[in-house]
Amino acid sequence: MAEAALRTEALSRSFGGLAAVSGVSLECRSGSVHAVIGPNGAGKTTLINMLSGDLAPSAGRIELFGEDITGLPPERVSQRGVGRSYQKTNIFLGFSAFENCRLAAQSRLPSSMRFLRRAERYHEVNVAAARALAAAGLGDRGDVRAAALSHGEQRQLEIAMTLATAPRVLLLDEPLAGMGAEESARMVALIRALKERHAVLLVEHDMDAVFAVADVLTVMVNGTVLASGRPAEIRANREVQQAYLGGDDAHG
């Protein structure tokens, strides 16, 4: 089995007296999709925010390929090879799709303190941007202004930008949010393709999609891990059924 790309150990975060996430340990391996599911308020977003560096943990440890990255700011986490896409589409609406990816790829230059040479004249950056666009299925949409893309395409662009930073680990925060059936199917295929080269941690509400694409599932309830395992195991788990999947009284 592949080595653990991203590993957390008893990761916790509390806001005031409220423990949003407490004692979460999980492993995300290269070449697989690790999905984190759970009802609203389970702490999934807090968890992914800690993994991407957007939020500092109160306790616990995060390791990237064995190196401690706990508490690093988001730009450092990104530079170490963790790419994140956001639940709320977070793209530069006035830029073209290509320029969004170009800017993202530019972050891999040793420095962007280059004041006079035109931004478009970095060959390797352009290549990385074009490759990321194509990988996300937007190869022919590069010239379109991001604001003019359909919702589904904007979600793809969100991921393309993340890919342009050449990450080893991908954190995908509800990539299917607000998508129609056809768009969802395309995104599921994309995620499946992405796991070939990345470790993917997926937070998603769409259960059909999650069970279609995940290799490992972690179920969170009230900030803690209720169960973790293969999709079949999770489906058969009574606690999970009661707490979440089939339970008609799901936690709010």
Is 13 in contact with 46 (CB distance < 8 Å)? yes
Q: Does 195 bind other proteins (CB under 8 A)?
A: no
- As given in the structure block, the two tokens for residue 125 are 């950056």
Closest contact distance (angstroms) between CB of 220 and other proteins is 22
Which has the closest alpha carbon to 190: 127, 129, 139?
139
Which CB, 119 or 193, lies closer to other proteins?
A: 119
Q: Does 200 bind other proteins (CB under 8 A)?
A: no
CA 158 to mean position of chain CA atoms: 10
Which CB, 92 or 211, lies closer to other proteins?
A: 92
Collapse the DSSP code of 64 into the 3-class scheme (helix H, G, I; strand E, B; otherwise coil) and give the result.
strand
CA dist., res. 231 & res. 139, Å (int): 33
Closest contact distance (angstroms) between CB of 132 and other proteins is 12
Q: Does 161 bind other proteins (CB under 8 A)?
A: yes
Radius of gyration of the chain (CA): 18
Tell me which residues in 87-126 interact with other proteins (CB under 8 A): 90-95, 102-104, 106-109, 112-119, 122
Which CB, 125 or 213, lies closer to other proteins?
A: 125
Is 106 in contact with 114 (CB distance < 8 Å)? no
- As given in the structure block, the two tokens for residue 31 are 């070449």
Let me know how long the chain is.
252
Tell me which residues in 31-90 interact with other proteins (CB under 8 A): 52-54, 73-76, 78-79, 84, 86, 90
Binding site for other proteins (CB under 8 A): 52-54, 73-76, 78-79, 84, 86, 90-95, 102-104, 106-109, 112-119, 122, 147, 161, 165
